[in-house]
Structures are given as C-alpha cells and as structure tokens.
Amino acid sequence: MKLRFRPYTLELKHAFTIATSSRTTTPAMLVEVERDGVIGYGEAAMPPYLGESQDSASAFFRRVDLTRIEDPFNLEEIIPAIDALAPGNTAAKAAVDIALHDWVGRKIGAPLYRLWGLNAAKAPVTSFTIGIDTDEIVRQKTREAAIYKIIKVKLGRDNDQAMIEAIRQETDKPITVDANQGWKTRDEALRRIEWLAARGVVFIEQPMPKEQIDDTAWLRERSPLPLIADESVQRLDDVLRARGVFDGINIKLMKCTGLREAHKMIVLARALGLKVMLGCMTETSCAISAAAQLSPLVDWADLDGAVLIGNDCFDGATIVDGRITLPDRPGIGVIPR
C-alpha cells in the first residue's frame, strides 16, 4: 500500500473568530492511500490552536510505512500502530485513518455507514456555525443560514448578548452556544447561561476552561441547560472523566485521530449515559463526509465545515433542507473535484 500527501490551504468565506483566536484560512493536508488500483482519500485540517502544521504533518506521514501491511482490512491493528509512532499529531493520524477506512469501503464496494449497520436516513440535521463578529455580519450570516434548522454561535467575549440579539433579530430558530472556554468563573458562566436559557438556546458547549473541572461540575448541577464537552474531551481516555461533569461530549475526527476512535467514543459515551455530538473544523467535504458516516449514531451534528470554505476540492456529503445527506457511494463517498 502506498501513501501520498500534499499541502492544501482552506480559504474561509468569512473570517472565523472564536473566544481565543481568529483566522481566514486553515492549513490542511490531503492524503491518498492506494493498493490494487483502489485509492482511499483522507484529510488533516489543522487550525493553528491545535498545534499542528503542514510541516509537522508531513514529518509524521514520512514515519508511516504502509508498504509492510499484509491485510489492509486489519484496521484494529494497523491504526493503533500508526497512533503509537509519535505522540500528538491527531489530525495527521486522522487523515491516514480516514483514507484507510475509505479504501476498505471502496474495496468492498459499500459505504462505511452500511458496514457499521447504520441507516443513512437517520442522519441528523446539522447546525450552521456563526463566529464572533459585528452585529451586521452576524445578521448577514444568519440570513445565509436560511436552510438550516439550528444555528450554532461562538461566544466567550464581551459581546455575547449582542451576538444573540443580532441573531434573534433575524430568526427564532433554536441556537446552540459554544463558549470555547471563554467564561472564566462559575458565577459568570451561570449568569450567562440563565440569560441564554430564556432565548431559545438548546445547550452550552465548553463554557469554562478545561482545567476547571470542579467549577464545571458545580455549574452543571445548577445550569438550566445541558453542558457539552469539547476541549475537555478529545480522545477515548477522556470520555469517562466527562461523566458527572458534562451532560454530553462533542467528538471531532481531527482531535480523536479519526473514525476508529470516534466510533469507540460514541459507544462508550452511550454506555455512560452521555449525549453525543459530532463536530468538525473548517474542512473539505473529505473529512466532513467521513464524519457524516457516523452521524446516524449521534444526537446532534455540527458538520458545516465544508460550506464555510470557498475552495472545497471534493464532492461528498451534502446538506439538504438542513439535514446531512450521505451519498450512496463506497467508502466515505467522496469524489475529487
């Protein structure tokens, strides 16, 4: 099996601002694995705050030797071995994981969701994400999200109320909030959540810094809205620690090393009674379509990453009337443009 990779820069349609950073592009790596004339596609999307880069991903890929693989279907051994090559590098690892899964599906001739026994018709609606911005841009983005049934808004700075009020000037659709660790004290967080609960908000994602576990548990006991972990839960080992602190978890392929671990995280979260959300970075339809294969298993999805960029180089999963629509194609279902 051969591994190929190349850098690609995702160009955002609007500046994307969260509580801790802002950007107009996202560095990415596009990956291919090939054997027996079959090509599987993968992607690493690496917003700078994750600590990965095109250079670090390239260095990691050079350590991955797929030529020794005897049985490419043996992913339960192959992917942990790749994970063990170096610490971190979760997006780079996800790119290889996605490409290997895509190859398996293409070789068999079936979509991954079918191999997992899932019903594509049960894929949930996806939210549309609005970053921190001026009232005018927030209202513009809200209008652009007309087909979506739910709006996700980034908060965590000093204009939280203005952001919500700008959205409410345009729509009464349900809103989910991602504070990206922006609220620093539990009393502040509780006041903000109580205000948001009266304005059609469904849940709060990562309200406080991930280190403030006791404060978050205190907040959960008093919050009128569910709390969903994002930065606090990145990999499988983190899921158990979320019980009693959060009501659910947000799983992102770029943080958890890909589809294999994401599936295991969903199974464990369900066993612990936690709600599950599938999230994304700004990504092409390659990584979005990969995550979408698991979407029939989750409560909520935030898989709008490809519609936030202007240079998507794949055709794959689409959003129809606000709902994730999986293509009836093998593997992750993508076609390079």
Give me the residue spans of the domains in the chain.
2-109, 115-336
pTM above 0.75, yes or no: yes
pLDDT at 24 (0 to 100): 92
pLDDT band at 22 (very low <50, low <70, confident <90, very high): confident
Q: Is 112 exposed, middle or buried (0-12, 13-18, 19+ CB in 10 A)?
A: buried
Residue closest to 302 by CA, chosen among 249, 250, 228: 250
Mean pLDDT of 42-71: 96
Q: What is the domain class of 2-109 according to CATH?
A: alpha beta
Query: Strand pairing of 151-154 and 175-178?
Result: parallel
Same fold, 2-109 and 115-336: no
pLDDT at 17: 80
- For residue 255, the model assigns a pLDDT of 98
The structure tokens listed for 109 are 């001739």
Distance CA 239, CA 204 (A): 18
- Find out if CATH 3.20.20.120 is the number for domain 115-336: yes
Taking the CA atoms of 44, 45, 49 and 53 in sequence, report the sign of the dihedral they define. Answer: positive
In this model, does residue 19 exceed pLDDT 80?
A: no
User: Is the pLDDT confidence value at 293 over 80?
Assistant: yes
Residue 124 DSSP label: P
Cα 232 → chain centroid: 14
20 pLDDT more than 80: no
**Tens of pLDDT along 180-225?**
999 999 999 999 999 999 999 999 999 999 999 999 999 999 999 9
Tell me the sheet residues that pair with 2.
Answer: 34
| Average pLDDT rounded to a whole number, residues 105-132 | 96
Chain mean pLDDT for the chain:
96
**Cβ atoms within 10 Å of 152's Cβ, excluding its own:** 24
Spatial CA neighbour of 199 closest among 153, 243, 156: 153
pLDDT for position 126: 96
